[in-house]
Amino acid sequence: MLHGTMRINSKGHLEIGGCDTVALAKKFGTPLYVIDEELLRQNCRAFYNGFKRDYPGNEVIYASKAFMTMAICKIIEEENLGLDVVSGGELYTALKAGFPPEKIYFHGNNKSREELIMALENDIGKIIVDNWHELNMLNELARKMNKVPNIYIRVSPGIEAHTHQYVKTGQIDSKFGFPLFNGDAMRAIEYALTLKNVNLVGLHSHIGSQIFDSYSYKAEIEIMMNFIKLIKEFLGWEVEELDLGGGFGIAYTEEDDPQPIEKIAHEMMQSVKEYSVSLNVKMPKIIVEPGRSIIGNAGTTLYTVGAIKEIPGIRKYVAVDGGMSDNIRTALYGAKYEAIVANKARLPRVEKVSIAGKLCESGDMLIWDILLPEIEEGDILAVLSTGAYNYSMASNYNRLPRPAAVLVSNGQADVIVERETYEDLVRKDVIPERLLSVKRKIVNY
């Protein structure tokens, strides 16, 4: 269960990046996202080594939707990866962090005019075009701005990946991309090749998220490589770059058993090579877009235990000072997590409890049924592998301020996101002039 730089120190406390997590909770407050910098970098290197070291044309681009801050952009840049953004906000964050624009790839199924203009103004690396509306709008905007952006066409390959329904994306009935099965993808490519203000350089597909079976990726490669052959035959165009998306699964609990990234990369690259030989098409440069598998296991959330409610013979609820506002994944996907009582990390796990959040929803649960040491108010609970899609999907529901995030390494903890304050919560509220006197007018029903 302990991974990355996690260890149990002489006080019996959980330590991450050489920092005692109980001390972190005290210093920075809870809930607190703790990011293990060394593990994050190791994950980046595993992808780099697997997909890029032996294939210099390939790219690994971090899907920043998983966890995006300016400090993370700096690490990704330093680790020689590119960046996948899906909104003006993510693009803005990357640019503000000084991320090289040419290494930014812009995704999204409904990019706005303003977002596309921002991408064009900043000459970002690739725009992944999702639909007809975007293709025409982009070409027109680029014409007016005298630009010729590099684009990929997003293909919906029609694959049912074995994962939760909400995180599948490649199936036929999907809002993303040009369907392959009805000829739309081919027509879009044919059309894009005639447009003067876009430079079509490749194809993109993505089959979903938290995928373990390499079979799904191999199926994706088979479909895309066959499609590349068809494109060559029908349109005489050779696809230079093939983006296979992200989705590599990670271990949240012992039930999950992901393969090492280097192994997956090797199998995928072998498969691409084999198809390029057997189908007689040029070997495309391969791009992958991992999000969760870069940041997921590098994140841990620390909470303080508050109310404990036991319903004899039924369940013991242990409530913490956060919940679905900082981790919506249990409520949304039925996600499962492991946890450690950080200040009792060496004690035996003796009782089964369920970890509840503090928000006003019965579904606001973080973990159903977990064995923990005897737990009391004030204990610090560490929920593991919360790096991906926790902070980035956090909300202010119930007007809870969003937690801080710290980057830990070699005994040093640096804040990379400050904790929101109550003042932050009302910063954008406006009371219209006509309501300003309300407190003096008591309404009488």
Ligand X SMILES: Cc1ncc(COP(=O)(O)O)c(C=O)c1O
Ligand Y SMILES: N[C@@H](CCCC[NH3+])C(=O)O
Decide if 290 contacts 47 (C-beta within 8 A). Answer: yes
Q: Could you give the CA distance from residue 196 to residue 337 in angstroms, rounded to a whole number?
A: 50
374 residue type, one letter: E
Cβ closer to ligand X: 241 or 364? Answer: 241
- Which tokens in the block code for residue 164? 């939760």
Cβ closer to ligand X: 28 or 67? Answer: 67
Beta-strand relationship, 285-288 and 299-311: unpaired
User: Residue 329 binds which entry of ligand X, ligand Y, none, with Cβ cut-offs from 5 to 8 Å by kind?
Assistant: ligand Y
> For ligand X, how many residues bind (rule: CB under 6 A)?
18
- For position 111 contacting ligand X by CB under 6 A, the verdict is no
When binding is defined by CB under 6 A, the residue of 209, 301, 325, 343 that contacts ligand X is: 209
Shortest CB 146 distance to ligand X, Å: 29
If you ran DSSP here, which 8-state letter would residue 168 be given? B
Q: Could you give the CA distance from residue 48 to residue 118 in angstroms, rounded to a whole number?
A: 29
Q: Which of 30, 78, 64 is nearest to 405 (CA)?
A: 30
Shortest CB 149 distance to ligand Y, Å: 23
Cβ closer to ligand Y: 4 or 296? Answer: 296
Q: Could you give the CA distance from residue 199 to residue 210 in angstroms, rounded to a whole number?
A: 32
Q: Which of 38, 3, 1 is nearest to 412 (CA)?
A: 38
| Residue 36 backbone phi and psi in degrees, to 5 | -85, 100
Question: Could you confirm whether 360 is annotated as catalytic?
Answer: yes
Q: Give the side-chain half-sphere CA count within 13 A for 160.
A: 2
If you ran DSSP here, which 8-state letter would residue 51 be given? I
Contact residues for ligand Y (CB under 6 A)?
65, 167, 209-210, 329, 389
When binding is defined by CB under 6 A, the residue of 52, 103, 206, 329 that contacts ligand X is: 206
Which residues, 49 to 88, sit near ligand X by CB under 6 A?
63, 66, 84
Cβ closer to ligand X: 210 or 390? Answer: 210
Shortest CB 247 distance to ligand X, Å: 4
Under 8 Å CB-to-CB from 111, ≥6 apart: which residues?
119, 127, 130, 134
Shortest CB 259 distance to ligand Y, Å: 19
Binding site for substrate, residues?
292, 329, 333, 361, 389
User: Residue 425 binds which entry of ligand Y, ligand X, none, with Cβ cut-offs from 5 to 8 Å by kind?
Assistant: none
Polymer length of the chain: 445
Binding site, residues?
247, 289-292, 329, 333, 361, 389
Q: Could you give the CA distance from residue 60 to residue 336 in angstroms, rounded to a whole number?
A: 28
Q: Which of 19, 44, 73, 360 is catalytic?
A: 360
Which residues, 143 to 172, sit near ligand X by CB under 6 A?
169
Residues that bind ligand X (CB under 6 A): 63, 66, 84, 107, 169, 206, 209-210, 245-248, 289-293, 388
Catalytic residues: 360
